[in-house]
Chains A and B, each alone.
Chain A
Amino acid sequence: MANLIGAKLERKEDKKFLTGKGRYTADINLPNQTYAYFVRSPHARAKITKVDHSKAMKAPGVIDIFTGDCVVKDKIGGLICGWKIVSQDGKDMKCPPHPVLAKDSVNFVGDHIAVVIAETLEQAKNAAELVNVNYKLQKAVIKTSEATGSENIHEGIDNNLSFDFLLGDKGKTDEAFSKADKIVKIDLVNNRLIPNAMEPRAAIGDYNTSSDELTLYTASQNPHLDRLIMSAFNAVHPEHKFRIVSPDVGGGFGSKINVYAEDVVVAYASKKIGRPVKWVAERSESFMSDNHGRDHITHAELALSNDGKITGLKVDTIANLGAYSLVLAAVTPTYLYAPLVLGIYDIPVACCTVKGVYTNTAPTDAYRGAGRPEATYVIERIVTKAAKEIGMDQAEFRKKNFIKKFPHQQCLVHNIDSGDYNAHLDKAIELADYKNFENRRSQSAKKGKLRGIGFSSYFEACGVAPSAVVMSIGSGVGLWESAEIRFNATGNISVFTGAHAHGQGHDTTFAQIVSDKLGVAIENIDIVHGDTDKGPFGMGTYGSRSLAVGGTAIVKACDKIIAKGKKVAAKMLEGKPEDIDFKAGEFILKNSNKKKTIGEIAFACYLPGSFGDIKSPLPEGVEPGLVETSFFDPSNFSFPSGTHICEVEVDEETGETKLVKYTVVDDFGTIINPLIVEGQVYGGIAQGVGQALYENANYDESGQLTSASYMDYTMPRADNFPQIKLDYTCTPATSNPLGVKGCGEAGTIAAPAAVMNAVIDAVGTDVSMPATAEKVWKALKKNGSKKAAA
């Protein structure tokens, strides 16, 4: 019971998931249900001159067809950008209209135009083929680098520039560079990725014509936020009559934060036809229409003094927003990115500009790490390059420049409360057997392989986030979190959290916290999430925030339970509340052997009456019941950090790269469940390695997505990985009582730089992500390799 914090418990939820008993949106079937199929644009950019669905309406099984005209007529609002950025000239970012069904123009392949509702899915698909859309094709703008010089995609948005963001002091940075002994420069591409959650998106709208209640089942990371947005902005249904259920969700990685067109349209269509409407994405729809991630091009410069101290940093980035601006599309490459380019180095002055541009590609948004992997990639690549250029050992160079005193106010935004960067670097070096690397390099050379080593010492700003901070920099909502602890009369507990689990293991970790705090057996604690009708309003799960923010809300609610319990126990034990101690599930009157278990207190709280000799256990003024709610808004972000060390072997003849050794030491602050953290780190690293070596969303010149299936989009697989060595250091966070920092994104944040630094070390020349066999081969050939040329 007690002391469960830090216990390596197996996940409570795994039994259902591993035995196929998970209940996902696609598993839900409602009586009288209909099926939706979307007509999507096959073109990257076109004017719509006509949508003729007269033939399709007559097709067998068709119930109705809705188009852009319908949603305009019914005043359904468009999709929103939830966090607005201000450009350096003081002007607000520019957001184009983003209708849920396109009326006048389409702007990427997969853009939603109409929806066919039919009795069966096959009938809906057959009819969709009969919807005749006339297009007037226009030249598509695809490349990130060419967006600002191309024709305007959206009316009134010149140069396709949404914002031109600046963080830092440009004048002082220029001054530092003018005094620098050495300047190191780098050009980087951060490749576009497709999230690929295992469960494709799905939504079922279910309007009850009798009660006027609308229920939307949707695979979302944040059902309450969805409901708020769909009520307030899309005008689908009033919030108090609107329930959103996100049942088991099979992975999100940021791709299930947004309210998507399909969510709004199935909810709207259900109201229109008075029957449930179900839509489940096919995998190819996921590829085309889930938000994509990353897609930056960056030029960065690092100023150094002769003794190897960093004296300044300049970063200029162009971030591809895709066709529209999604909920977190603008904050991801700005406030989640720019402050983080400093890494964990004591850099006195810096500036970072980010141009957000529109193109005719799928919209981008937060994807596991959201801004922080991109930032880490910049700083860890340039730091490695700098060490090499000045001939200093890369570990030494890092240590020389690490922040060493905490709290540390960085020159851009963050005030880092805690950390010990030397500690995780030293531990990683030890664990990775860095000192013998050159021996391993020669061993590999004997097998005809080029071996390389790469470091990535990262930090991230997690636990998003303090409302006061985020709302002052453009967020449309505060990012606190809620929890409710509901004791039942029989002594077991339902815990309602505003966070949402879609693979993170909250059922276990959150129950561990409650068990530890309240001394109730873990099997008597149920974690409830994902239903707006059950728990209080919550912000959902993203940005490694669930534990630091949501977990803390649970702790605070537990504290309230204990406080009330003490009052009740005091009366029952005939003492004063201040003389009651609570320990391991028992309320004990000081200096006595009198005590009550928390179960007895809960029972008493629900039986407050007096019956004959039985006196009410409740003190005067204390309400019956034992239910407490807490909303936690942190004072600061949390700052996990760590060091990854990667070794690769490159086949000189074919250019193939193989990951042969991987070591990671993380500082996540307090760890609640090491087994779950391990899983999060492995998964995160796999995704980061995916970006570095395999994954790439590729559009051709006309804007066709040529990597739109697993035949063409390379996912990392188990056989691509060696056993990862993993360890921790710990400096607890000071911004929450648990001391936790967050771990869900760390692997993805640090891995790309570690892997690419290793590849470049092996090859001896620059290679861009993903480092495919052909790219590496070409680099080797250019570098004069005879084997590569043979």
Chain B
Amino acid sequence: MKNFNFKSASNTKEASKLASGRATFLAGGMSILPAMKLRLAAYTHLINIKKIKSLSGIKVSSKSIRIGAATTHAAVAASKEVGKSIPSLAILADGIGDPQVRNRGTIGGSIANNDPAADYPSACLALKATIHTNKRKIAADKFFKGMFETDLKKGELIESVEFEVPEKSAYAKFPNPASRYALVGVFVAKQKDGVRVAVTGAASSVFRSKELESVLLNNFSPSAVDKATVSDKGLNSDIHASAEYRAHIIKSMARKAVSSC
């Protein structure tokens, strides 16, 4: 790891101000620190945002759940409110990494990093999330741009993520046997006005499966999944799985998610 300056911000304004030059925000550090240790990333400044109180916490209303960006996965997993209103989100959080990661890693860090195999981005897409930053509100559909790429501008800081409460939802993950990240993760949500199916792990970035959404809109049942054709075009092929296998597992996980809704 190359040397860097470390500063803690006490509010978002200060954090944003400190983020000049080759700087980045540090919350749980579950992605950025390993990358720096492996010399895949180097920064002159790390701005610690863990001390900003307004960034942590969970607020629940009848229509949505709003989670502060620096809230840990463990906190989301343990939240009774989340468990009651969107249980799939609590289950998803409980399945991220291992206990160490869940106790340090944060929701804001996860989606800002937009790892192609991260779990949270699929929840954002399927649950019609709104990403609140210190500058604006961004719809999840416009937030995830590509591999490790988001719509965030330089110095822009995620403050919270707001999920719409669906009628029902579930997340099914087929873990990569080595890393246990999602080889394929499928988040299925049924809203009053439609169905959303978001897929993570299978391509260069999280995406919505229009094929699965359309068959499930007609008939929200596991057997409906059989009718969908999930193309392997654009899906990842690597030592863990071919695109063909990932396409098959997308359907399998969709079936599993729908049946556990």
The interface of chain A, by Cβ under 8 A from chain B, is 122, 125-126, 284, 653-654, 694, 696, 698, 706-707, 710-715, 772-774, 777-778, 788, 790
CB distance from A768 to the nearest CB of B (A): 14
Interface flags, B236-256, vs A, CB<8A=1, else 0: 001111100100110110000
Nearest CB on B from A750, distance (A): 23
Query: Are B178 and A774 interface neighbours, CB within 8 A?
Result: no
The answer to whether residues A710 and B179 also contact, given A774-B242, A777-B245 and a CB cut-off of 8 A, is yes
State the CA gap A704–B126 with chains docked (Å).
37
Tell whether A712 pairs with B1 under 8 Å between CB atoms, given A698-B239, A777-B245, A790-B251: no
- Kindly state whether residue B177 has any CB partner on chain A within 8 Å: yes
Q: How far is the CA of A711 from the CA of B240 in the complex (A)?
A: 10
Q: In this assembly, does B233 line the interface, its C-beta being within 8 Å of a C-beta of chain A?
A: no
User: Which residue of A126, A714, A777, A790 is within 8 Å of B177 (Cβ)?
Assistant: A714
Contacts A707-B239, A774-B241, A774-B245 known; A653 to B252 CB distance under 8 Å? yes
A609 to B61, CA, bound (A): 93
25 A–B contacts, CB within 8 A, in A order = A122-B1, A653-B252, A654-B174, A694-B177, A696-B239, A698-B239, A706-B238, A706-B239, A710-B179, A711-B178, A711-B179, A712-B178, A712-B179, A712-B239, A713-B178, A714-B177, A715-B178, A774-B241, A774-B242, A774-B245, A777-B245, A777-B248, A778-B245, A788-B248, A790-B226
Specify which chain B residues have a CB less than 8 angstroms from the CB of A778 in the assembled complex.
245
Residues 1-40 of B at the A interface (beta carbon under 8 Å): 1-3, 38-39
Q: Are A714 and B178 in contact (CB under 8 A)?
A: yes
Closest CB of chain B to A774's CB: distance in Å?
A: 4
Cβ A773 vs Cβ B177 within 8 A: yes
**Cβ contacts under 8 Å, B2 to chain A:** 122, 126
CA distance A586 to B79 in the complex (A): 68
Residues of B within 8 A of A125 (CB): 39
A770 nearest in chain B by CB position: B177
Bound Cα distance A710, B180 (Å): 10
In whole angstroms, how far apart are the Cα atoms of A707 and B241 in the complex? 13
Cα separation A284 to B251 with both chains bound (whole Å): 35
Cβ contacts under 8 Å, B39 to chain A = 125
Please state if A122 and B3 are interface contacts (CB–CB under 8 Å): yes
Please report the C-alpha to C-alpha distance between residue A712 and residue B239 in the assembled complex, in whole angstroms. 8
Chain A nearest Cβ from B215, distance in angstroms: 14
Smallest beta-carbon distance B175→chain A, Å: 10
Closest to A656 in B: B174
Contact status A654-B249, CB under 8 Å: yes
Pick from B3, B174, B177, B238 the residue with the most CB of A within 10 Å. Answer: B177
The prevalent SS among residues of A at the interface is loop
Known: A654-B252, A707-B239, A714-B178. 6 other contacts (CB 8 A): A122-B3, A126-B2, A710-B178, A711-B179, A774-B242, A777-B248
Chain B residues with CB under 8 A of A714: 177-178
Q: Which residues of B contact A284 (CB under 8 A)?
A: 38
A774 / chain B contacts, CB cutoff of 8 Å: 240-242, 245
Nearest to B226 among chain A residues (CB) is A790
Give chain A nearest CB distance to B252 CB in angstroms.
5
What's the least CB distance linking B38 to chain A, in Å?
A: 8
Residues of A within 8 A of B252 (CB): 653-654
Q: What does the 1/0 interface line of B140-171 toward A look like (CB < 8 Å)?
A: 00000000000000000000000000000000
Q: How far is the CB of A68 from chain B (nearest CB, A)?
A: 25
Please report the C-alpha to C-alpha distance between residue A790 and residue B254 in the assembled complex, in whole angstroms.
Answer: 12
Residue contact A712 to B240, C-beta cutoff 8 Å: yes
- In the assembled complex, the Cα of A653 lies from the Cα of B225 at a distance in Å of 14
Chain A residues, Cβ within 8 Å of B238:
706
Residues of B contacting A694 in the complex (Cβ-Cβ under 8 angstroms) = 177-178
Cα A790 to Cα B253 with chains together (Å): 12
- By Cβ-Cβ distance, the 3 closest A-B pairs, closest first, are A714-B178, A711-B179, A714-B177
By a CB distance below 8 angstroms, the chain B residues around A696 are 239
* List of B residues within 8 angstroms of A713 by Cβ: 178
A713 CA to B177 CA, complexed, in Å:
9
Assembly CA distance A698 to B181 (angstroms): 19
Q: Chain B contacts of A653 at CB under 8 A?
A: 252
A243 CB to nearest chain B CB (Å): 34
A72 to chain B, nearest CB (A): 31
Most buried by B among A122, A698, A707, A774: A774
The interface centre, meaning the residue of B2, B38, B245 with most chain A CB atoms within 10 A of its CB, is B245
How far, in Å, is A400 (CB) from chain B's closest CB? Answer: 38
| Set of chain B residues within 8 Å of A706, measured between Cβ atoms | 238-239
A706: nearest residue on chain B (CB-CB)? B239
* CB nearest neighbor in A for B251: A790
* Inter-chain contacts of A710 with B (CB < 8 A): 178-179
Instruction: Find the B residue at minimum CB distance from A715.
Output: B178
B17 to chain A, nearest CB (A): 29
Give the Cβ gap from A572 to chain B, nearest Cβ, in Å: 63
A50 to B249, CA, bound (A): 49
Residues of chain B within 8 A of A654, CB atoms compared: 174, 249, 252
* Closest B residue by C-beta to A710: B178
B75 to chain A, nearest CB (A): 24
Minimum CB–CB distance from B93 to chain A (whole Å) comes to: 19
Q: How far is the CB of B133 from chain A (nearest CB, A)?
A: 30
**Within the assembled complex, what's the spacing in Å between the Cα atoms of A606 and B214?**
92
Which residues from B are CB-within-8-Å of A126?
2
Kindly provide the distance from the CB of B90 to the nearest chain A CB, expressed in whole angstroms: 21
Residue of B nearest to A693 (CB): B177
| Interchain nearest-CB distance for B199 vs A (Å) | 16
B residues less than 8 Å from A707 (CB atoms): 178, 239
Bound together, the chains give a CA A713 to CA B179 distance in angstroms of: 8
**B1 contacts across to A, CB distance below 8 A:** 122
Minimum CB–CB distance from B257 to chain A (whole Å) comes to 14
Q: How far is the CA of A122 from the CA of B39 in the complex (A)?
A: 11
A777 to B2, CA, bound (A): 44
Q: How far is the CA of A698 from the CA of B240 in the complex (A)?
A: 11
Residues 211-239 (chain B) with a chain A CB within 8 angstroms: 226, 238-239
A788 to B249, CA, bound (A): 10
A778 to B249, CA, bound (A): 12
